[in-house]
Amino acid sequence: MDGDQDVVMVTTNYVPGKKITKVIGTIWGITVRSRGLGGNIMAGLRSIAGGEIKEYSKMLSDARNTAMERLRDAAKQLGANAVVEMRFDSSDIGQVMTEIVAYGTAVVVSDVSGEVERVSLS
C-alpha cells in the first residue's frame, strides 16, 4: 500500500494478507448530531404509532459514516494505511444531541502475500 491508496479499516486485530509493521496508536473520528425541530416532531408522531423512526435511523447512519470518514482522515494525517480494531461508541448529550465516535488503532501494514514461511517439525 502506498500513500495514494485509501486506508483499510477492519474490526479485526489484523488485516488478512498484511503484516503490521508499525503501530501508531489510538485514533478517533467524532461527530455530534441533532435533529431539527421538524425532524423531532415527525419522529415524535411516529413514536406514537410505534415502529422504526426512519428520521433517526438516517441521522445515525449518516453520523456513523461521517465519524468513519474523520477516522480515515486522522489515520492518513498520521501516516497510517490501516486501522485495526475499529469500533463505534455513542452517547446522548442533553437529550437533544447524539455523539458518535469511530475509534481504533492506526497502523502501517505491508503486503505479505509473496512471503513464504517454512516450518520444520524437527
pLDDT of residue 23: 97
Confidence of residue 101 (pLDDT cuts 50, 70, 90): very high
Q: What is the pTM of this model?
A: 0.77
pLDDT per residue as tens digits for the range 31-59: 998 866 655 666 666 667 667 777 778 88
Parse the chain into domains and list their residue ranges: 8-111
Give the CATH H-level superfamily of domain 8-111.
Hypothetical protein apc22750. Chain B (3.30.110.70)
Residue 110 pLDDT > 70: yes
Q: How far is CA 30 from the centre of its chain?
A: 10
The strands making up 8-9's β-sheet, listed across from edge to edge, are 8-9, 82-93, 97-111, 18-33
**pLDDT of residue 4 exceeding 60:** no
